[in-house]
Amino acid sequence: MYKLSFFILTIATCCFLSACKLQQGVKIPTDANGFELLSDYHLFKGNIVDLIPEEGVIPYDLNTPLFSDYAHKARFIWMPKGKTATAQADGSIQFPEKTILVKNFFYKNRVETRLLIHTTKGWNAVTYVWNKEQTDATLEIAGATIPVTFQHLGKDISFNYSVPNKIQCKNCHNLDNVLLPIGPKIANLNRSIQYFDGERNQLDYWNEHGYLNVKSQKDTPIFPAWDNLSYTIEERSKAYLDTHWGHCHNPKGLGNTSGLFLQYFNDDKTAWGFCKTPVAAGRGSGGLPVDIQPGHPDQSILLFRMESDDPGIMMPEIGRKLVHQEANDLIRQWISEIEPTPCN
């Protein structure tokens, strides 16, 4: 449900040919707040709503992306000519200065576009809200609320979509008190997408076009797609939880005092919440004693918080208004299938 359509990806790559000649017209703002309009960056050509990228602006996708109230997403990246990103030992990516990561959110119409811009002082997050005419998007620092109606599984869903403010962006992307990208990690990028000249693995494609210095995708771990049935229930569940909780619940995140560390490649069951009592969940515990009660999803705080849409209870705390029922069903099944263990 989160995958970009082949149509979008094909359009997105039609301008990225001939040994990746990078677009010289892409502009980087000197103001920390960013340009006033999305079009001022010159990331897209023609009718901006069509998201046809300029040369050097390439699409990318993730194995397990963040749930954002069932919004579709179209992701792009641009880096300055002659610059290359480098894979780090922990699976993250060190992007060069002036890199721009672009994420467009849409239902029937475009809703918002978020940019992460790598400046000399670090990453800067800026958000743009699309106008009703769909001719451009305007900088929005304070956040916004936008009424949205869409169809999911044949049903009409109406709700107030939340565009995050600048502080919320910083809180979500906080790692060791530094704002950093969350999604584009090596293992999560290790997948194939449809380019103009055929389907290719992203890591190999980025390597060949000078965007990334990394080993072949064959020698690189793969982060499971949470909705890919070829993976086990446990693999899919841990991938989903890592994506949605792991940026906060890790030793360097804002949830570092919780002792709940949800990294996919972490094998510590206690850190994953098995029979672990919460440090300070408050109302978020639902009166339940442990984060995960093996074999008993309804006695597990983790699922209780996922199934809530109460801002004082739900997890993640920001980034959604709706309950992700399909993911909740997955986590429920996973906990149910864990061998029951008394938590004393």
pLDDT per residue over 278-288, tens digit each? 887 678 889 99
Is the pLDDT at 19 greater than 70? The verdict is no
Residue 310 placed within a domain: yes
Residue 130 placed within a domain: yes
Averaged pLDDT score across all residues of the chain: 88
**Which 3-state string (H, E, C) describes 314-327?**
CCCCCCCCCCCHHH
Per DSSP bridges, beta strands 72-78 and 198-201 are unpaired
Q: What is the pLDDT of residues 196-235, one digit of tens each?
A: 788 999 999 999 989 998 866 667 889 999 999 999 999 9
Same domain, 70 and 148: yes
pLDDT of residue 226: 97
Across residues 45-63, what is the average pLDDT? 95
- What is the C-alpha radius of gyration for the chain, rounded to an integer number of angstroms? 20
Residue 344 placed within a domain: no
Same domain, 319 and 195: no
- The residues near 70 (Cβ < 8 Å, ≥ 6 apart) are 1, 107, 150, 152, 157, 322
pLDDT of residue 319: 85
pLDDT of residue 31: 81
Per DSSP bridges, beta strands 212-213 and 85-87 are parallel
Total number of domains in the chain: 2
Q: Answer with the one of 192, 219, 246 that is the final residue of a domain.
A: 219
Confidence label for 12 from pLDDT (cuts 50, 70 and 90): very low
Residue 312 placed within a domain: yes
Please tell me the distance from the alpha carbon of residue 342 to that of residue 274, in angstroms, as a whole number: 10
Beta-carbon neighbour count of residue 266 at 10 Å?
Answer: 15
pLDDT of residue 256: 78
pLDDT of residue 217: 63
Same domain, 160 and 287: no
Same domain, 213 and 273: no
- The sign of the dihedral angle between the CA atoms of 167, 89, 79, 217 is negative
Q: Answer with the one of 184, 219, 254 that is the final residue of a domain.
A: 219
Candidates 213, 198, 209, 236; CA nearest to 329 is 236
Domain around 326: 233-337
Candidates 193, 140, 180, 137; CA nearest to 33 is 140
Across residues 274-281, what is the average pLDDT? 86
Confidence label for 244 from pLDDT (cuts 50, 70 and 90): very high
- Whether the CB-CB separation of 286 and 257 falls below 8 Å is answered with no
Q: What is the pLDDT of residues 303-323, one digit of tens each?
A: 999 999 999 899 888 889 999
Residue 164 placed within a domain: yes
Q: What angle do CA 268, 261, 278 make, to 5 degrees?
A: 100
pLDDT of residue 255: 78
Same domain, 200 and 102: yes
Helix (H), strand (E) counts: the chain: 7, 17
Residue 224 placed within a domain: no
Same domain, 195 and 47: yes
Same domain, 50 and 153: yes
Same domain, 68 and 201: yes
Q: Answer with the one of 185, 219, 253 that is the final residue of a domain.
A: 219
Is the pLDDT at 14 greater than 90? The verdict is no
Same domain, 54 and 147: yes
Same domain, 151 and 19: yes
Same domain, 203 and 311: no
Same domain, 181 and 325: no
Residue 153 placed within a domain: yes
Residue 225 placed within a domain: no
